[in-house]
Structure 1
Amino acid sequence: MCAGSALRQECGQQYREEYRRCLEREFRRGRAGACSDPSFGERLRQRLGPEPALLGALQEDGPALLARGLRGRPDPGPALRGLAGAFRLLELAAVNLYLFPWRREFGTVQTFSGAYVHSLRPALPEADLVRSFGRLGYEQRDPHRLAITRLPPGPELVAAACGFFACRLECEILVEVVHRLRPRQLRPEELLEARQLAGDVEACVEMLQQQGAASDCGDGADLYQEMPASPEDTGGEDAATLALWRDRGSPRGARDVPRRGWDCCGDSGCGQEPVPSMGNPKPDTSSSSRLFLEQELGRASSPLSALAMGSGSPQVPGEAQDLPSATPQEAPELPCYQLHSCLRRGVLPSYCCTTCQQLHAGACAAGQACRSRHHGQELRSERQQRLWLQRTEVDMLLADSSGPWS
């Protein structure tokens, strides 16, 4: 699996080259059009599944296009199918220019044509369409047409076509998640967030199932998974990618696609109290200390905060909370976390593995393995790290003194 920006870019280049070979192989067989090689499509889908960040390496604005294409849609299923159709048309436009640069009919896109009106415009905002066609050398000449002003080199057209193909596969992955969770109706933002955090279909479905009824709650701030207060706290490219996924957009289904012109090759058959700075806190072994930390998390309304707790139902804002006065027997059962051996005194954790229920330092090899195989979350801000450290130290002392929390 690729890890890191440089390796993802290298993977992206390999897939672009394989995509080009597929196009040219099919062209020699007398077929031209959007990629239809099932083996290549399956290989790329298998890689995209557990590694959604690869989409950004193949199509830089791919995550943002998906998010804006789903904005405001009450049901992402039909919207995703419409987006898949739109990405196929954009891929086809790039392939036509690559294989047939001399054909004049591909030099103009009529924005009043059936394909543009019924498939592209309902699926993506007009500004995104203009930018996407701009990658292929088109510029808007007037309100009714886009025309080629500079034909990009072949490798750029292949890269654009492969990127749109990857976006199409991502839509299919998300459609599968939506289908697996029927009859529950997902909000687009929770679907995209779970996809980015969990990875493949199975893990994504499991995460969304754990949310359960919490999916109807609002998007409150979560102390254990808070949004950074400044660009310096974003933690690099992974946070930037997640921010792209949090963007939102809105399509309708694709239909009535014409069979002639730019869109088809004619030859083709295809309220919280502030928590003070703790320094290096001495954990309180009392139940109320642990419950205070859990209450801080429970007050948040983000659906994904439930997963961080290991609970399916986070506290709904405004609900009465009696946790500080509860006895251990009355408290809900909560997972007990441990500090991995990589965390020496004075070192703050940077990753929480919710599968192993352990905290890891940034350079820990075991933590890197957990990132690739397990569920978890990056602890980006110092406040977030200290809260998790305090909670885990309390867990470990309670386990030493009185056995598992119950």
Structure 2
Amino acid sequence: MSAESLVAQYNSWLLNVAAVTPCTDNKIVDVVRQRILEEPDVHSFLHNDAFPLISSGLQDKADLHRTLQHLACAFQTLEQAALHLYFTPWRKEFHTIKTYSGYYVHILEAALPQEAIFQALEKLNYKPEEDEASLKIWDLPAPPTLAKAALGFLAARVECNILADLVSCSGATLVNGTDLIQERRSWRGEDACMERLQKLVLGPKAVPVTKSSTAVDSVNGASNGEEVFYQPQFCDHCHEPWHMHVNGCRRMVIDHHAHIDPDKPGDDRCHTQAAHVKFAMHDCVFVEKSLEQCCTQCHMFHSSFCSTVKGCREKGHRVTQMTSSEKIQAAMEEQARKHQLHCCLQPGHMPHYRCSHCRTLHYINCQELLQCRYKGHNASMIMLERDQQLWLQRSLTDLTLLCRNVPAQSHSGFE
């Protein structure tokens, strides 16, 4: 079912509703749930800001399940507000919301920060008064706008219930709000997301062991047979420290400034420097099309006149000028990681999504992107226009220009 069909079905329900109450029709709720499970970007079509609002409500909260229940109640209240305006636009008492009593305090403020509440109510044209003691509607939205807003709040409520189910099945206290939202947006279907969250919880950073493990006894002082969690010092597979890994996988590494003799196994530096983290290019490199400096502590390449480098030096970081071979190697690695523009991006379009698996940038509503997600690829939305411009610039940058000061014969690696 398309997002448009979902709106049509909700409008059909509005025509037959007997009372001005939030939707509890199991058929409608089940359709909404199934649709957003298959494609979370339905929230974007409804313009309900579901994930940003939920994220703001989950921030710094330890009990995610309870918080999500509060958020579901908040979105139900917002849906109720939209339906009041839809069915009874002449009732002036619904055109003003007091911020110091009633549902606002006991339900909305209990779940969301003030800025998020204002953002949600703005979709119904509520504007805060100067003293912020109340929000008022001066221009009533059209009925279709109110109906779509009500459906958006219903979808956000259902989303909260989906997330609460995921938390219940994945080990609630071990999953934080950021991970929960990120995995929910990246994986299609409840089972796939739940499996990913469980792996996240029980990944290498939290290995279950029992009392018999001397490592746990020494680190955590365990004195009973209960299962506990600890972080081992080294990976069992590659024998490198865990901080050298990302999402359980060892980082591909390049050591730009360490010179270790492999024939000297007793060299103390081997364990700490043999697996340097991958260096990334700072935004300044693509803006200035210059590659000159390297900050060892930040693992970042910079342009000639990047202002960030000054802060690095003030912190005592080691910032060095890159050699010709280092520039070439860094540019070749970036070339391998470079995202390409999909054919859906026409001149003048900004990329709205990127698939990190295919390394491709997509325009909004691209069907190829849907195929990526069905395959389990990590396709994420590029929210800010500034970031969209930067990703576009990255994809169009001629990386050989980053080595323009390198002798011509050294460029053979790009061929």
TM-score in terms of structure 2 length: 0.53
Partners of 2:245 and 2:178 lie apart in 1 by 15
After superposition, the Cα gap between the structure-2 partners of 1:361 and 1:86, relative to the gap in structure 1 and judged at 3 Å, is: closer
Letter in 2 for 1:140: P
After superposition, the Cα gap between the structure-2 partners of 1:79 and 1:169, relative to the gap in structure 1 and judged at 3 Å, is: same
After superposition, the Cα gap between the structure-2 partners of 1:195 and 1:295, relative to the gap in structure 1 and judged at 3 Å, is: farther
**CA offsets 1:347-368 (integer angstroms, 9 cap, x no match):** 98969xxxxxxx76859xxx86
Partners of 1:368 and 1:108 lie apart in 2 by 42
Aligned to 2:125: 137
Partners of 2:185 and 2:370 lie apart in 1 by 18
Q: How far off its partner does 1:37 sit?
A: 1.5
Aligned to 2:261: none
Partners of 1:320 and 1:152 lie apart in 2 by 64
Q: Does 1:165 align with 2:142?
A: no
- Contact 1:34/1:95 (8 A) holds in 2: yes
Aligned to 2:255: none
Aligned to 2:79: 91
Look up the SS of the partner of 1:73 in the other structure. Answer: coil
Partners of 2:4 and 2:36 lie apart in 1 by 14
- Contact 1:207/1:307 (8 A) holds in 2: no
Partners of 1:361 and 1:193 lie apart in 2 by 18
Q: Does 1:33 align with 2:21?
A: yes
Instruction: Give ranges in structure 1 of 5+ residues lacking alignment.
Output: 2-10, 218-290, 310-318, 325-345, 352-358, 383-406
After superposition, the Cα gap between the structure-2 partners of 1:151 and 1:206, relative to the gap in structure 1 and judged at 3 Å, is: same
The higher radius of gyration belongs to: 2
- Contact 2:170/2:201 (8 A) holds in 1: no
Partners of 2:140 and 2:154 lie apart in 1 by 20
Q: How far off its partner does 1:103 sit?
A: 1.4
Aligned to 1:332: none
Aligned to 1:376: 377
The 5 A counterparts of 1:94-113 are: 94-113=82-101
Partners of 1:43 and 1:215 lie apart in 2 by 37
Look up the SS of the partner of 1:175 in the other structure. Answer: helix
Partners of 2:29 and 2:78 lie apart in 1 by 17
Q: How far off its partner does 1:129 sit?
A: 1.3
The 5 A counterparts of 1:12-31 are: 12-27=3-18, 31=19
Aligned to 2:166: 177
- Contact 1:88/1:168 (8 A) holds in 2: yes
Over the matched positions of the two proteins, sequence identity in percent amounts to 28
The 5 A counterparts of 1:259-274 are: none
Instruction: Give ranges in structure 2 of 5+ residues lacking alignment.
Output: 207-236, 253-269, 276-334, 341-356, 362-367, 381-390, 396-415
Q: Does 1:81 align with 2:94?
A: no
- Contact 2:186/2:379 (8 A) holds in 1: no
Look up the SS of the partner of 2:124 in the other structure. Answer: coil
Partners of 2:139 and 2:170 lie apart in 1 by 46
Q: Does 1:43 align with 2:31?
A: yes
Letter in 2 for 1:37: D
Q: Which structure ranks higher in relative contact order (CA pairs < 8 Å, sequence separation ≥ 6)?
A: 1
Partners of 2:370 and 2:115 lie apart in 1 by 40
Partners of 1:110 and 1:202 lie apart in 2 by 42
Look up the SS of the partner of 1:49 in the other structure. Answer: helix
- Contact 2:69/2:160 (8 A) holds in 1: yes
